[in-house]
């Protein structure tokens, strides 16, 4: 029994330490964006780089942990927007706005997750393949949004497949449009939300809600 309690205490301490290291990494990413280095993160956490490697392996491992942390938070916010007690068009706009507001609020985090360092000659730890890591993040968002759609909208006999297609399509649209908007700022966030909602508002406006559900 004592051995079990000791193992549980060690596991809890390790999880707490991992959270602390991720919070330190977040602070560095907020400051440095894609140029955030393992050296800087270790210094922020008050440890040596080998200890950081012990927890995450390499920058790719740290990236995946940060990506999961921020994707979980974003998915929670998106679900809250989708489940708000309002008309479908308003919920669509709220969902789009939630995503855009998130990348606008923390642009350095977004750039760290989605873009490699702009250094002309990045070091090995800065030059890891961001695309190889960001693609699963976008796929996860697409799959999760597809699940939300199939739970809320009746799309007919091929509802599940259509919902997955829409989920990935909407995430791709939000990502591409948001990336362009965050870099160029050609219009207000409100205008972008309205325009993207207009684009989605064809068949979605005509689809029926599933019996007993809140609708989408």
Give 26-43 pLDDT, tens digit per residue: 999 999 988 888 999 999
- pTM summary value: 0.79
* Count of the separate structural domains present in the chain: 1
Q: What is residue 34's predicted lDDT score, i.e. its pLDDT?
A: 87
Is there a domain that residue 55 lies in?
Answer: no
155-194: per-residue pLDDT in tens?
A: 888 889 999 999 999 999 999 999 999 999 999 999 999 9
Q: Name the band, by pLDDT with cuts 50, 70 and 90, for residue 203.
A: low
User: What is the extent of the structural domain holding 147?
Assistant: 60-209
Beta bridge partners of 209: 153
Is there a domain that residue 23 lies in?
Answer: no
Helix (H/G/I), strand (E/B), else coil: 209: strand
Alpha-carbon distance of 212 to 195, in angstroms, equals 31
Q: What is residue 126's predicted lDDT score, i.e. its pLDDT?
A: 45
Percent of the chain having pLDDT more than 70? 84
Q: What is the CA radius of gyration of the chain?
A: 20
Q: Is 190 exposed, middle or buried (0-12, 13-18, 19+ CB in 10 A)?
A: exposed
Is there a domain that residue 44 lies in?
Answer: no
């Amino acid at each position: 029994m004592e051995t079990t309690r000791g193992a549980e205490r060690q596991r809890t301490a390790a999880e707490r330490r991992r959270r602390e290291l991720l919070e330190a990494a977040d602070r560095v990413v907020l400051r440095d964006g894609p140029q955030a280095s393992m050296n800087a993160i270790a210094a922020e956490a008050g440890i040596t780089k080998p200890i950081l490697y012990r927890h995450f392996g390499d920058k790719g491992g740290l990236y995946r942990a940060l990506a999961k942390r921020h994707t979980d938070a974003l998915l929670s916010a998106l679900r809250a927007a989708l489940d708000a007690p309002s008309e479908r068009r308003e919920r669509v706009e709220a969902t789009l706005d939630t995503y855009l507001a998130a990348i606008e609020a923390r642009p350095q985090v977004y750039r760290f997750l989605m873009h490699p360092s702009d250094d002309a000659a990045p070091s090995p730890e800065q030059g890891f393949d961001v695309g190889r890591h960001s693609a699963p993040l976008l796929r996860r968002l697409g799959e999760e949004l597809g699940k939300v759609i199939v739970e809320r909208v009746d799309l007919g006999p091929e509802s599940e497949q259509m919902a997955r297609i829409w989920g990935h399509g909407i995430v791709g649209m939000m990502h591409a449009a948001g990336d362009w908007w965050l870099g160029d700022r050609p219009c207000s966030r409100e205008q972008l939300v309205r325009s993207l909602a207009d684009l989605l508002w064809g068949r979605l406006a005509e689809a029926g809600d599933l019996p007993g559900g809140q609708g989408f």
